[in-house]
Structure 1
Amino acid sequence: MERSPTSSSCQHALLARSPVGHVSVCPECGVVHLSLDCLSLRLELTAFQALAQMLSQAKQRLDSRQTGGSHVRNSPGHALH
């Protein structure tokens, strides 16, 4: 029987854990599972890598604003939802 990317029989290998959630991967199907409190996402590896890159870029921008003395504002181009 072939496993689908969302198969409940996936064997998860833990990649990282923190107080906000955890990230695991199924070595057989290659799907990355991102679990945050009551939110769970299943992502193909390339989608997870793109998400990680986007979050890293956002963190760098937030960090540079904090060290520069400015704060993130809810203005055009800087909306927080």
Structure 2
Amino acid sequence: MAQLTVTAKGQITLKKELLEHLGVKPGDKLEVDLRAGDVVVLQPIEKKYSIEDLAGFLKPNGIHLTLEEINEVIEKGWAGELED
């Protein structure tokens, strides 16, 4: 069990292992649910993406395939012939 310290401003910092356990990264948001008996539940909020968030998502990475090569990869994928 991790221990957290409350600062003079009434803030806490979650330890890295807690953030990793929750699967959250900088900029992500958490929902806080107060339960009976001094229980606090933290849950990550699923991020909603907009079309603007996707800008630049398909940046070229140096791999260039012809349509024939792309079709070959697709065929191998459907046939279960691709390695992980």
TM-score (norm. length: structure 2): 0.24
Greater fraction strand: 1
Structure number with larger C-alpha Rg: 2
